[in-house]
Amino acid sequence: MSNNPISHLSAQKRLNWVLKIGIIYVCFVITGGLLSKSLSLLADASHMIVHSAAIAIAIIASHIATREKNKGFSDKYRKIESIGGYTNGLLLIIISIVIAYEAITRLIGFGDMESHHNHEIDASIMGITALFGLFFHILSAVILYGGRNESLNVYALFLHSFFDILSTIIALITSILIHFLHIDWLDSVSSLLIASLIIFGSFKMLKRGYFEIVNEEKIDINVKDIETSLNKIPHIKDIHHIILRVESDESISMSAHIVMKDECLDKEHWQDCKSDIEALLQKEFNIKQTVLQLEF
């Protein structure tokens, strides 16, 4: 992450734009999936519904935390993130299991002509939908790329966008193969592949969410004590979004937004202030891992 002053509002705007694009994408792909009878498109849309919900939760929590004057709200913000991430992980796994079950059912039924007719894929609609879906994903990735150094949430979503692009490419390639080879069961195989990718990512989300929830009680550092100590450092105007986490090695890490005074315009001075903050946190609170976002 950059050491330069960053705009938290800019990160929120990027998340808002990506959420709007995600909602449009979900409506578009669900329509295309139903018209083409493509399970892989519906799988991608289902994943994006939960993904958009996760973005919405992050935006709402961020807005509340920004407006909340009580600095202790950072703890609640962290809990919202953890519980939200864990819940979304569970939902994704449930959706993936349903998709996998439907895909396997279709594969078994493709030998029956009546069942095959019911699930006959319209490759043209499927391909056009996947192509436009790919455009939406790339547009979201471009928006997130411009703010990847502004916020950890934006950076994480930018990395996640590569998975979204991969899923849509799988659906697009499948539609091309179905169009030329007339093998409809490739859609079910594609759905199983996408479901597997979703489950893989969901377990990582579950593991992180569970770890953060069960380890919250291990943090015995008072956020207000950190704020009081940091305010003693010259040129610091305000501190907000102080979030403490227990890492896998039992050490405590911290992220925070540090508002510098207006006269602090020298980039070298920003680095000096950042070094002073890190030294104080390590000395007084034994916090060795930090992600500090400096802003005006």
Domain ranges of the chain: 8-214, 218-295
* Environment class of 96 (CB within 10 Å of its CB; exposed 0-12, middle 13-18, buried 19+): buried
pLDDT of residue 141: 86
Query: For 162-189, what is each residue's pLDDT tens digit?
Result: 778 888 898 899 999 998 988 888 898 9
Model pLDDT for residues 205-263, shown as the tens digit of each residue:
777 777 766 665 566 778 888 888 888 888 888 887 788 877 766 678 888 888 887 77
Is the confidence at residue 70, as pLDDT, over 60? no
Most confident of 115-119, 125-129, 245-249: 125-129
For domain 218-295, the CATH superfamily is Cation efflux protein, cytoplasmic domain (3.30.70.1350)
Q: Do residues 233 and 210 make contact, with C-beta atoms less than 8 angstroms apart?
A: no
How far apart (Å, rounded) are the C-alpha atoms in residues 263 and 118? 69
Residue 137 has pLDDT above 50, yes or no: yes
Residue with more model confidence, 74 or 13: 13
